[in-house]
Structures are given as structure tokens and as C-alpha cells.
Amino acid sequence: MTQDEYVAKLKGQLDQWNAQVKDWEAKAATAQDRLREQYLKQLDLMRGADQAWKSMHEAFERARSEFNKK
């Protein structure tokens, strides 16, 4: 193998590795986007659950107040 062939072989390997790294970076970015999306959905769910809990608590307190009047 000549020096030029050897350098070309090494360059080809580096090109493959660079392509693989770009692929991994793209997958990581996609995963981060999905995780961020899931986090926001869970946050919305948590806020909704908190609001539902507050409404339920207020309704319970109103009912208790009405029963205590009688």
C-alpha cells in the first residue's frame, strides 16, 4: 500500500466516523425534543390535576358548609 492509498484509507475512515457522529447528534437532538415535549405534557397534566383538585376541594368545602348549616 502506498502512502497516498494509506492516507486515503484513513481519510475514508474519518469521514465515516464524522458521518456517524452527525447521525448520533441528530438522534440526540430529536431525543431532547421528545423529552422536552413529554415534560411539557406532564407539566400541563400536573397543572390540570392541581386545578381539578382545587375545584374538588372547594366543592367539598361548600357542601360541608351547607350540611353544617342544617
Average pLDDT of the segment spanning 14-31: 93
With 90 as the cut, is the pLDDT of residue 7 above it?
Answer: yes
Average pLDDT of the segment spanning 45-59: 94
With 90 as the cut, is the pLDDT of residue 9 above it?
Answer: yes
Give Cα 27 to chain centroid, integer Å: 13
Rounded CA-CA distance 36/48 in Å is: 18
Taking 3-state DSSP, the helix, strand and coil percentages for the chain, each rounded to the nearest 5, stand at 95, 0, 5
